[in-house]
């Protein structure tokens, strides 16, 4: 093989190393990689690095999400869409250009984000002017249905027998962070990590094991406390309950937090 050919082979094989490392490479390419790395120290090193990286990245997060509450919210959104459909006979799901216009209008940002997928399946056609007019009328109906959906969600939440860690309801006074700790965390470890992060427990644990935490030093940084918690192996979940700052608006006071 010429020098140029060798360099080309090295580049080609190097590009395949991640899929050799994750063991999804095809048989022919596997042989090609193995033939090359036998005589290439650089690629052998690269393979070792990528295997370690894969191992580090393949470990699952400790957080387990419960899908029931999320599914309830999806159901409410689907109900909102379904409730709007009978009022718009031309806009039944996926049956006409007008209906696609309605979907695109009511869920414009979703449609935009998935335009490439829809286009790749070759099913979305150009929306006609009539379709757009129908869409604009339908959009008003959708807005009303979303208001109805909000009311539905409020009612559903009032009687809900589940609790989410991100729920904004009933925040204990001073709560800045909600966290879930590993069941194996000892009291001493809990005290140690809270002391280090300058936090104290103000409520909890809930049935889901969620603690509400407040700052021991109000001038401290919530972000730093959050970072310290998240860096601890015994913390399974930690999230600030403060709203995100408005981009470009500087926080006031000594704290860097909003």
Residue ranges binding another protein (CB under 8 A):
14-16, 18-19, 21-22, 24-25, 45-46, 48-50, 52-54, 56-61, 63-65, 67, 70-71, 73-75, 77-78, 81, 93-94, 103, 107, 109-110, 112-114, 116-118, 120-121, 123-124, 164-166, 221, 223-224, 226-228, 230-233, 237-239, 244, 247, 256
Place of tokens 């002017």: 129
Minimum distance, C-beta of residue 36 to another protein, in the bound complex (Å): 15
Minimum distance, C-beta of residue 121 to another protein, in the bound complex (Å): 5
Closest CA to 21 of 37, 1, 39: 37
Minimum distance, C-beta of residue 126 to another protein, in the bound complex (Å): 16
- Taking the C-alpha atoms of residue 1 and residue 36, their distance in angstroms, rounded to an integer, is 12
Minimum distance, C-beta of residue 184 to another protein, in the bound complex (Å): 13
CB 68, CB 95: distance < 8 Å: no
**Of 4 and 121, CB closest to another protein:** 121
Minimum distance, C-beta of residue 146 to another protein, in the bound complex (Å): 13
Q: Where are the alpha helices (H) located in 38-128, listed in sequence order?
A: 41-58, 67-84, 97-106, 108-113, 115-120
What residues contact 71, with CB distance under 8 A and at least 6 apart?
none
- Using left for φ > 0, alpha for ψ between -120 and 50, and beta otherwise, residue 214 falls in beta
CA atoms within 13 A on the CB side of 23: 4
**Of 145 and 164, CB closest to another protein:** 164
**Of 9 and 46, CB closest to another protein:** 46
């Amino acid at each position: 093989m010429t020098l140029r050919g060798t360099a080309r082979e090295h580049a080609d094989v190097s590009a395949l190393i991640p899929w050799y490392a994750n063991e999804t490479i095809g048989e022919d390419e596997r042989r090609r990689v193995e033939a090359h790395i036998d005589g290439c120290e650089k690629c052998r090193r690269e393979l070792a690095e990528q295997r370690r990286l894969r191992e580090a990245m393949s470990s699952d997060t400790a957080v387990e999400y419960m899908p029931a509450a999320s599914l309830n919210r999806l159901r409410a959104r689907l109900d909102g869409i379904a409730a709007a459909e009978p009022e718009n006979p031309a806009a039944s799901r996926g049956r006409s250009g007008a209906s696609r216009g309605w979907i695109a209008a009511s869920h414009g940002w979703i449609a935009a984000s998935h335009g490439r997928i829809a286009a790749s399946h070759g099913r979305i056609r150009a929306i006609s002017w009539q379709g757009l007019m129908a869409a604009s009328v339908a959009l008003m109906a959708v807005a009303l249905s979303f208001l109805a959906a909000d009311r539905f969600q409020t009612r559903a939440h009032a009687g809900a027998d589940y609790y989410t860690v991100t729920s904004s309801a009933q925040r204990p006074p001073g709560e800045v962070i909600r966290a879930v700790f590993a069941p194996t965390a000892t009291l001493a470890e809990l005290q140690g990590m809270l002391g280090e992060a300058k936090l104290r427990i103000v409520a909890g644990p809930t049935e889901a094991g969620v603690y509400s935490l407040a700052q021991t030093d109000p001038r401290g940084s919530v972000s730093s406390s959050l970072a310290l918690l998240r860096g601890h192996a015994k913390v399974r979940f930690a999230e600030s309950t403060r709203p995100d700052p408005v981009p470009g608006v500087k926080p006031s006071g000594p704290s860097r937090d909003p």
